[in-house]
Structure 1
Amino acid sequence: MESKNLLLLICTVLSFFTVFAVNAVTIVIPSIASEYGMSNIIQNWVTIIFLLVVAVLSVPAGQISAKFGLKKVTNMSIILFIIISIVNVLVTTQEQFLACRFILGISLAFINVTSMAMIVSAFPPEERGKALGINITGVYVGLSLSPVLGGILNYNLGWRSVVLFGVPFLFVILALLLTKIDEEWISFKGIPLDIKGSLTYGIGMVLFMYGFTILNTQLGIVLTILGILILIIFGLIELRQSYPVFNINFFKNHKFLSANFASLCAYLATYAVTTILNYHLQYIKGFDSQTAGLILLVAPLCQVVLAPIAGRLSDKYVPQILAAIGMALGTISLFLFSSLNGQSPLEFLILSMIIYGIGFGLFSPPNTNVIMGSVPPKDTSVASAAVATMRTVGQAMSMGILTLVFAFVMGNVPIIEQYYPLLISSCQITCLICVVLCIASVFASLVGIKSTN
């Protein structure tokens, strides 16, 4: 197999397991919550803490990996992933479990950045959309199989089998990278790391993201505002740096700016959907994790089919139009999800999930192609970091919106039958908020069409 094609296969498999690490655990959260006695708010933090770490580290990960080598950083991240997955199944408290999720986020923050950057570095521009489409297919296969495999493993072997599932496969990936891929990609050789910028960004992002999840409290308001101010300071610092951790000037490129904003809004609008549907199926409908996982297969399966097609189409047609059509379908699906209640027929849910899956499958590859193609080749790792950051910040804030609505509507309570009406109301309100965000993503994509730079 040609080296670049083997690399694409490796990165696609890595994309699968990065998604699996998040979404397979999402399906088994009710089982984990039962074992550790977690409340509704803490349950959401099983996902949020992971995404928060990835969001904080994605920006510095771009510079670090470009300086020390994309392949080398990937190898080290895989080793950390394997070690912490094994430790994760040995913990005995919810605090230890969350700590493992924190460390796991560190490894996947780097993998998210390096895998896409290696693909962009290895493939010429005329093949890039197709390669990215295939790589994103790995993401959607992960989204498809995560609830199914996670549900089946949890139902038959317990949640620890879900955490360990990827370990043997990652040993194989590590061996292939070490023995079959000879190339190394270092585009920031001799360039100093922007420690000041990285620390400022990290502190600002942590304060903002954590404050956002507790925005219903006075402390949350203070931390959110403080986080925003520090992120503004980060931007001012980066404008003065000779070698910034993130080149703010990229946002003067209207294509780069509009596509990143569209991506942020899209993930803000859609990420919490899986958690909402999982809660609906397991709590409201009373399905076990295995059955819920099979039903949740519908939307990502549509994404798997659409992603490579959308990737190829984005090489031939205006990618922003494809992305806008995708998010328009996403808007319709979110509106349908907002009406879900205890009496909603399963057929209605499945139809809504099909529309959702087609929409997001049509959005992501073209939008990613716009971002990665709007920067010079030497800056692909930075662009990759932007893609990862928009995705994870959007995902974390999407869960933050759900958690915030939970706090306002339900309070900090266990999810038991007496609170099911409040759970339904919380999920409906969250979906309506996400409809607005979907519409914003559509407009951001359309604005990008008119950009000449």
Structure 2
Amino acid sequence: MQRELSSYQVVDEAAIRRAALVAATLTSFLTPFMDSGTNVALPEISLQFGMDAVVLSWVRMAYLLAAAVFLVPFGKLADIYGRKRVYALGTGTFTLAALVTGLSTSTPILLGARVLQGLGSAMIFGTGMAILTSAFPPGERGRVLGINVAAVYLGASLGPSIGGVLTEQFGWRSIFAVPVVLGVIALAFIWRRLTGEWAEARGESFDLPGSLIYAVSLVALMLGISRLPSPAAVGLVAAGVMGLGFFAAWEMRATVPVLDIRLLTSNRPFAFSNLAALINYSATAATAFLSSLYLRYIKGLDAQTAGLVLIAQPVIQAVFSPLAGKLSDRIEPRIVASAGMGLTALGLVLLVVISPATPLWAIILRLALLGFGFALFSSPNMNGIMGAVEKRLYGVASAMLATMRLMGQM
């Protein structure tokens, strides 16, 4: 199959698909690897710059806030001006920010670089999945989204182990060398191999006022949630909710909204799949942290052994995500995702009832069950969301799902 581009250059459709898959897999590995790897180095970063606990928390918070706030606006910009263009810009921004972070000489420079990394991550996650959905036919969409999800889980699982080794052997700055190298490779691949552009909403205007309202409201909401239950945090949550309500009213009147509210009010598959993602990620966000505390302080394991136990979940997720995605190409995605959510809930219930006497093999089986449930949920849920919208909204849909994931992880 062939496809003619605007420059009248005829290119091989299969080559475009391969390039899209390789590029998306690289960047999908890169961003969670950086996030989870940085967490390992936080004690050393704190010591280097003399940070207290509050300032140190902003090393991660600055990244997450910037990523969440700009995901939907960048997704819309990608639909208008071209997904490859925004995707390449995001990869370059993320890579440059990683370099600046690794070379930081003060706390303000470090935090500024983390904000820049969040911007780059927003551009990547607001477009990567949209490019895959644009490049591949519906019958193959679940499989490639499953591969993409597997790369995310692989990056998240390898980040702490590789980051720990690098920090121990070469210092915390060495962690940021990995995304610089991989980012340069990904950027070169995007420009040289990813031929073509996707901009089905080209010619539409960009709703800047709506984007600003959305950004301010989401910052207030996420900051408030992260600081609960203090009175100030409650006020921020209330302000954020009211701001998002005003944003919804604004978007309903906008000629070309940054986020078409009708997707949430009239498109039930899109709305409920995003809600399911928010619930699923919220319910499981603290699992790794609480499990690590249990293994270290209740079971008395050393850090290396505890890490080997915890890796059972992301490894299972990485192995089964492509298979679950492929299954959702044959069976209704919501059915597969619902089964995955049920298994995830079962895994959480089984983890709730563990005690100091619970054998290690039983803990591993519970984590594996949780990972299997997550694998069955994630890529089929993505497949359902992307299949529920028209092509000109792929960027916004991709960004909306990523926003749900980040909000759940807060």
The gaps in structure 1 that reach 5 residues or longer are 397-453
Q: Which residue is equivalent to 1:27?
A: 40
Q: Distance in 2 between matches of 1:276 and 1:383?
A: 32
Structure 1 residue 165, shift from structure 2 partner: 1.0
Q: Which residue is equivalent to 2:399?
A: 385
Are 2:204 and 1:191 aligned?
A: yes
Structure 1 residue 330, shift from structure 2 partner: 1.7
Q: TM-score, normalised by structure 2?
A: 0.89
Pairs aligned (count): 396
- Confirm or deny: 8 A CA contact 1:77 1:111 kept in the other structure: yes
Q: Which residue is equivalent to 1:436?
A: none
Are 2:342 and 1:328 aligned?
A: yes
Task: Tell me: CA distance 1:41–1:268, structure 2 relative to 1, closer, same or farther (3 Å).
Answer: farther
The gaps in structure 2 that reach 5 residues or longer are 1-13
Instruction: For residues 335-360 of structure 1, give each alpha carbon's deviation from its aligned partner in whole angstroms, at most 9, with x where no partner exists.
Output: 34445677765434322221111110
Instruction: For residues 3-22 of structure 1, give each alpha carbon's deviation from its aligned partner in whole angstroms, at most 9, with x where no partner exists.
Output: 21121111111101011121
Structure 1 residue 273, shift from structure 2 partner: 2.2
- Confirm or deny: 8 A CA contact 1:27 1:293 kept in the other structure: no
Compare 212-221 and 365-374 and name the one that shifted more: 212-221
Instruction: For residues 359-401 of structure 1, give each alpha carbon's deviation from its aligned partner in whole angstroms, at most 9, with x where no partner exists.
Output: 10111011111100001122211211111111112222xxxxx
- Confirm or deny: 8 A CA contact 1:144 1:304 kept in the other structure: no
Q: Which residue is equivalent to 1:229?
A: 242
Structure 1 residue 196, shift from structure 2 partner: 0.8
Amino acid corresponding to residue 156 of structure 1 in structure 2:
Q
Structure 1 residue 93, shift from structure 2 partner: 4.6
Determine helix, strand or coil for the equivalent of 1:152: helix
Instruction: For residues 156-213 of structure 1, give each alpha carbon's deviation from its aligned partner in whole angstroms, at most 9, with x where no partner exists.
Output: 2232222221211211111111112220111222211100110000010011111122
Task: Tell me: CA distance 1:192–1:181, structure 2 relative to 1, closer, same or farther (3 Å).
Answer: same
Q: Distance in 2 between matches of 1:48 and 1:152?
A: 24
Instruction: For residues 267-293 of structure 1, give each alpha carbon's deviation from its aligned partner in whole angstroms, at most 9, with x where no partner exists.
Output: 111123233334555677676665554
Are 2:169 and 1:140 aligned?
A: no
Are 2:409 and 1:395 aligned?
A: yes
Q: Which residue is equivalent to 1:438?
A: none
Q: Distance in 2 between matches of 1:281 and 1:92?
A: 36
Q: Distance in 1 between matches of 2:279 and 2:45?
A: 30
- 1:171-320 matches, within 5 Å, as 171-251=184-264, 252-280=266-294, 291-320=305-334
Determine helix, strand or coil for the equivalent of 1:243: coil
Task: Tell me: CA distance 1:385–1:168, structure 2 relative to 1, closer, same or farther (3 Å).
Answer: same
Percent identity for Structure 1 against Structure 2? 37
- 1:338-357 matches, within 5 Å, as 338=352, 345-357=359-371
Q: Which residue is equivalent to 2:29?
A: 16
1:110 counterpart (107, 123, 132): 123
Determine helix, strand or coil for the equivalent of 1:28: helix
Determine helix, strand or coil for the equivalent of 1:166: helix
- 1:51-200 matches, within 5 Å, as 51-200=64-213
Q: TM-score, normalised by structure 1?
A: 0.81
Determine helix, strand or coil for the equivalent of 2:104: coil
Q: Distance in 2 between matches of 1:329 and 1:100?
A: 39
Determine helix, strand or coil for the equivalent of 2:200: coil
1:370 counterpart (384, 391, 398): 384
- Confirm or deny: 8 A CA contact 2:89 2:123 kept in the other structure: no
- Confirm or deny: 8 A CA contact 1:154 1:162 kept in the other structure: yes
Amino acid corresponding to residue 198 of structure 1 in structure 2:
S
Determine helix, strand or coil for the equivalent of 2:126: helix
Q: CA RMSD for the aligned pairs?
A: 2.3
Instruction: For residues 100-151 of structure 1, give each alpha carbon's deviation from its aligned partner in whole angstroms, at most 9, with x where no partner exists.
Output: 2222111101100111111111111122112211211211221232222222
